[in-house]
Structure 1
Amino acid sequence: MFSEHFKVRFYETDGLAHVSNTVVAGWFECGREPIFKMFTPDLDLQNWPLILASYKIDFHLQIYYGKSVEVRTYVSRVGNSSFDTYQEIWQQDQKVASGTTTLVRFDFESNKSVPIDGTIKSQLEEHLYPQQEA
């Protein structure tokens, strides 16, 4: 598991006095940065090997300004050329949101998915969501 803490900023709140639902997707992306570094250690955008295929976010409770959040990032599935991350946002010891994102290793020159190499697969599997472990 990877863990990242964020201070909820005032501008992330909406007219209903809680964090806007659009902010969560950005927090999740920041939480995936350690996974991005497995594929591109220097995060060189000219040599980027991943595309986002899909994501789904579930909101469990409202998220509030003035209280920090923790983003927990796991790997929930590793396939041949794609993998899923499962992420949770926690605030004040409560899970307030969760989501799953599918990422694909991609060759932009050939415009096709390509297999994830064995070393990276092993690194991804070190971060499997606990319920996914054998």
Structure 2
Amino acid sequence: MTDNTPLETTFDVRFCETDALGHVGNTTLVEWFEAGRDPIFRFFTPELDLTNWPLILASYHVDFHAQLFYGKAVTIKTYISRVGKSSFETLQEAWQNGVKCATGTTTLVHFDFKTQRSAPISDDVKTQLMAHFREQ
């Protein structure tokens, strides 16, 4: 399968996101990756209705490749790397100045809070997810 279009979000690095070493703190990447998944959340609940939230985070992993610095924008590219019956995985990259500085993978589960069980992902949502598929 060929690579599809990533979902992209760009952030201006804020001074408060830097640490004593002068680069972006490692926990900031987790926040940026979550914000980069907002368009995916809308596939499941277009209004981002927290009273009917359909996803839970099962796991995440971040690898750091290069330092990120204050004063230069960072772009988060979000892909879908796996779609199952009730769960899917995102593959995300953080880019600054044309350099891939970090990658992250996140497993999310479509979840029914009333029954406290995973729920199948609809075919419509699977189609939307696959429009952003990329082999890992």
TM-score bracket for the superposition, by shorter chain length: over 0.9
Moved over 4 A (4+): none
Output the TM-score relative to the length of structure 1. Answer: 0.96
Output the TM-score relative to the length of structure 2. Answer: 0.95
* Counterpart residue identity of residue 48, structure 2: L
Match of 1:54, SS?
Answer: strand
Query: After superposition, where does 1:102-113 map in structure 2 within 5 Å?
Result: 102-113=107-118
Q: Which residue of 2 aligns with 1:39?
A: 44
CA RMSD, Structure 1 to Structure 2 (Å): 0.7
Q: Which residue of 2 aligns with 1:25?
A: 30
Confirm whether residue 5 of structure 1 aligns to residue 10 of structure 2. Answer: yes
Q: Which residue of 2 aligns with 1:101?
A: 106
Q: Which has the higher contact order (CA 8 A, sep 6+)?
A: 2
In structure 2, how many angstroms separate the alpha carbons of the residues matched to 1:70 and 1:100?
A: 16
Confirm whether residue 15 of structure 1 aligns to residue 20 of structure 2. Answer: yes
In structure 2, how many angstroms separate the alpha carbons of the residues matched to 1:52 and 1:68?
A: 27
Identity %: 58
Confirm whether residue 48 of structure 1 aligns to residue 53 of structure 2. Answer: yes
Confirm whether residue 73 of structure 1 aligns to residue 78 of structure 2. Answer: yes
Match of 1:96, SS?
Answer: strand
Match of 1:72, SS?
Answer: strand
**Runs of 5+ unmatched residues, structure 2:** 1-5
In structure 2, how many angstroms separate the alpha carbons of the residues matched to 1:101 and 1:78?
A: 12
**Runs of 5+ unmatched residues, structure 1:** none
* Counterpart residue identity of residue 31, structure 2: G
- 1:68-124, Cα deviation, whole Å (9 max, x unpaired): 100000000000000000000000000000000000000001100010011101110
**1:22: how far off?**
0.4
Confirm whether residue 60 of structure 1 aligns to residue 65 of structure 2. Answer: yes
